[in-house]
A and B are shown apart, each in its own frame.
Chain A
């Protein structure tokens, strides 16, 4: 079942001015329930404009966007759509503002006008989920936390709204390797336990390839490709020309293939590539000069 339906969507910034810019150009696709949906594209390709339609921060100018069956052009749906789609923007820690972590996480649920007990339950649950146990972190100031902790607190503030769809924009940017690992583990856990439909924007092709069921490739406001990671990264030249690159594993596979090694299939993760190499080595017939 499609939870987000985008049909013939176009969007122009600063219409009829010298600064006019077409950010989206007749874009159509669907995101299904339970799907891990990756979006890639160079800076300025229209990704951000696209996802800001998912919870009506931008209203459709032409075309339509339906979220969880609700039309994003109708004003009466705005709040319901915003509560249905959790948005974790780039550097989400910059949205923290309350004097305690718990209060900040409660901001979303409070706006949803939930009963107090329910808010408390959600605050505790989401803080525990992101690895900032309520008992330890709940009463601390969000501004005293470390960079990685701040980011997880901000994510807790979004998942406390228990959205059906979670959208994450460059969620690991600027973190140290340890922080990156924690965030990526958290995303996998969130999908399993909390929010099955996830939209992930990333420049890291290794992450995107390993996590996504399908990948949407954008350039100049248009859809270039939309398919499984394997099918997307088969387009070696296109992905390189768009300045997006390939997963490290695919890059090495391409190098090996150019020397004459024959593979059964495209590999997008190290695991797949290692298995293929193992197989070729054992069979001894992978080599063509």
Chain B
């Protein structure tokens, strides 16, 4: 079943037609339930704008975005969309409303009018999912970056979403924090939640099943990470980097050591080198 349907979407920050500069210049794609989709592209390519269109924070200037069957332009059902498509933002400090962890996680369901006993259960289960149960009564500002982002994820989970959108949610974290957040994302995806991860980190892209590359407001690639990292032309055009393992793979090939051209995982490459040396 399609959960996110983006059809011929254009977006301009200016409402007036004559001085419209389009951040998105006509984009279409469909995301199915349970997918793990990465969205990549250089700064200013329109990917953060796209993220905000995916749960109705922005309305398309033209075209149509449908989330779980609801049109984002319809004011009456906007909260049906937002509770189903939760969003985790870049700066962990700018998305917490409450000082204490559990109060922050309860914020979403409270807004939705969920009964208090039910909220208690949801908060406990969300904390458990992100592995932060022992921090339930902690002061949020004293946590590490990775912990704060996991609390932000829990704050979304308590609304029981079907889609999780990460808007560069790991870019301000250290490798440990990044690892913590991505493993939670993986776990949730395995439980059937659709994950859309907007990122600069090519290692995260490798974790997903599908990747969308944007350049200058246009969708220039839609396929698997393996295909993307073979496509030198697109990588150059969208100013994308190769994951470290792919860089090494290319270096080996250049030096005449024959390894497969589409390897992205470190353990696969180790295996092939091992076979060659054996």
Contact = CB atoms under 8 A, between A and B. Distances in A.
Are A and B direct contacts in the complex by CB distance below 8 Å? yes
B249 to A, nearest CB: 10
Contacts, number: 90
B266 A252 contact: yes
Interface in B133-191: 144-145, 168, 171-172, 174-177
Interface string B234-273: 0000011100110110011001010000000011011001
B42 A178 contact: yes
A56 B274 CA distance: 51
Task: Tell me whether chain B's interface is mostly helix, strand or loop, or mixed.
Answer: helix
A114 interface: no
Interface stretch (A8-16, A28-36, A275-283): A275-283
A249 B176 contact: no
B277 A286 contact: yes
Interface in A257-277: 259, 261, 270-271, 273-274, 277
Contact of A174 (B172, B239, B251, B278): B172
B276 A248 contact: no
B150 to A, nearest CB: 15
Interface in B213-253: 239-241, 244-245, 247-248, 251-252
A245 B174 CA distance: 12
A255 B267 contact: yes
A209 to B, nearest CB: 12
A287 B255 contact: no
Nearest to B201: A177
Given A176-B200, A243-B176, A287-B277, A248 B43 contact: no
Given A174-B171, A179-B43, A245-B175, A277 B145 contact: no
Contacts of A243: 176
B43 A270 contact: no
A252 B267 CA distance: 8
A176 B240 CA distance: 8
Given A176-B42, A280-B277, A274 B269 contact: no
Interface of A: 42-44, 146-148, 173-181, 203-204, 206, 243, 245, 248-249, 251-252, 255-256, 259, 261, 270-271, 273-274, 277-278, 280-281, 286-287
Given A203-B174, A243-B176, A281-B276, 13 more contacts: A42-B176, A174-B90, A174-B168, A175-B43, A175-B200, A176-B200, A248-B248, A249-B248, A252-B269, A270-B244, A277-B252, A278-B257, A286-B277
